[in-house]
Amino acid sequence: MGNDAPSRRTTLSTLLATGLGTALTACGGPSRSAGAGGTVTLRYFFWGDNVRAELINKCIAVFERAHPKIKVKSSFAAFDSFWPKLSTAAAGGSPPDVMHIDYAWIRTLGEHGVLANLSEHTGPGKEIDATTLVPSLRTAGMVEDRRVGLPLSHNSVSVQYDAKVWAAAGARAPSASMNWDTFMEQTLQVTRHTRRKQFGMDNPAQNYMGVETYMRQHGMQMWTEKGELGFGRDDMSRYLAQANNWRKEGALAGPDVVPESLPGYPIGTRRVASNLEWDNQVGGRSTMRGSKLTLATVPTDTGRSGIYAKPGMLLSAAAKSPYVSEAAQFINFMINDRRVAKILGTNIGMPPTTSQEGAAEITDPAVQQVQAYEKEIAPTLAPTPPPPADGGASLNVYLQRVAEKLFYDRVSVDHAVDLFFNQAKVVLA
């Protein structure tokens, strides 16, 4: 369904609850000084694998040649291991100078004083040029009036579907001109055609992505600038009731499909023939499935797509770093230099700036598909909305639990809404 695996969210929630923010802010500034000849060394920590590490180290080599007095020492970990490693480094008094941050955590870490205010290093004559950011990304990395991160990539919500399965079922391909009821009529055809071996669509109400898309299509935000929920009980009730009816009809998958597919995804295990997902995942999901998935725009009842530019990851500097100016120079290089785009390709997503657009030579059909989709939706792409509240990620975990109870018919829609908003009072207090 486009959400991270539960273990990832749980890891993040646990770390924050047990003091990641405290560890990062409590330690004093690192007692590091410039080396011989005024050379400084930046510690750069990111998540990924060996392939990404090799690419990023190539970028670092280019940067160091252009900035002989700045060295960059990189370190990486898988996403699940990234946050414990970051916490441990900070607790030991040596947080990385530059780090990748997930958008779900930019407000939490920004408000807790973990991340440097890069607004002081952004603008004419300063280290970072943010005027080149893709227009829809210009608010990404802002926490109220402070810039605490710069997007390193971006992606957008899409419908991913198996066109061959849909065609065999006689279902019409999804499109932005299709409303949700019409779309669900098509997914129901798929469900019936496969005799429920594959449902027409995974259930988008089982995580924040579906809720957020619905709210945005109806003129609301998931989160306000102040970190509050941007919708009310009645709005949530309407959405969950609608999704529950579609689930009962068979247009959407039941709640058992997700656990049956773990550690994979229902679209990859061929339990559903479409889902709501970030567009850059189409290649990986197609590989898991063993057949090509096609990208389509999201249906809407209002004429609003609800789609926005989401940073795939952001680059931030540690507030406690003695080298924030040098870190800002490196961040600017990573988001603006065309050589970086050529090296990275789309390993981390679509490039974040007009400086880097078109620099990479892409031959991967899945990536070309994403590029075509991004070009198609660009005229209607909304700016990045306010980031999730401190506690928003744990509320998303709870939303999944509530949705599961509803779709197993263990609670009513009204009870599910009460559970969600009561929990919101607790985690957002």
* Together in a domain, 367 and 397: no
pLDDT digits (tens, 9 = 90+) for 38-61: 899 999 999 999 999 999 999 999
pLDDT digits (tens, 9 = 90+) for 211-258: 999 999 999 999 998 889 999 999 999 999 999 999 999 999 999 998
The token duo for 317 is: 């500097």
Gap between the Cα atoms of 306 and 323, Å rounded: 39
Contact between 251 and 203 (Cβ < 8 Å): no
* Together in a domain, 115 and 232: no
Q: Is residue 351 part of a domain?
A: yes
Instruction: Report residue 33's pLDDT band, with 50, 70 and 90 as the boundaries.
Output: low
More confident residue, 181 or 79: 181
* Together in a domain, 396 and 268: yes
Gap between the Cα atoms of 343 and 179, Å rounded: 40
pLDDT digits (tens, 9 = 90+) for 136-188: 899 999 988 899 999 999 999 999 999 999 999 999 999 888 999 999 999 99
The token duo for 271 is: 């339990």
As for how many domains the chain has, the answer is: 2
Contact between 77 and 107 (Cβ < 8 Å): no
**What pLDDT score was predicted for residue 5?**
36
* Together in a domain, 32 and 133: yes
pLDDT digits (tens, 9 = 90+) for 313-340: 999 999 989 999 999 999 999 999 999 9
Backbone phi, then psi, for 147, in 5-degree steps? Answer: -90, 115
Gap between the Cα atoms of 361 and 344, Å rounded: 10
Read off the CATH number of the domain in which 29 is found.
3.40.190.10
Domain that holds residue 300: 157-307+391-427
**What pLDDT score was predicted for residue 23?**
54
Q: How many residues does the chain have?
A: 429
* Together in a domain, 210 and 279: yes
**What pLDDT score was predicted for residue 1?**
35
pLDDT digits (tens, 9 = 90+) for 285-295: 999 999 999 99
Gap between the Cα atoms of 412 and 406, Å rounded: 6
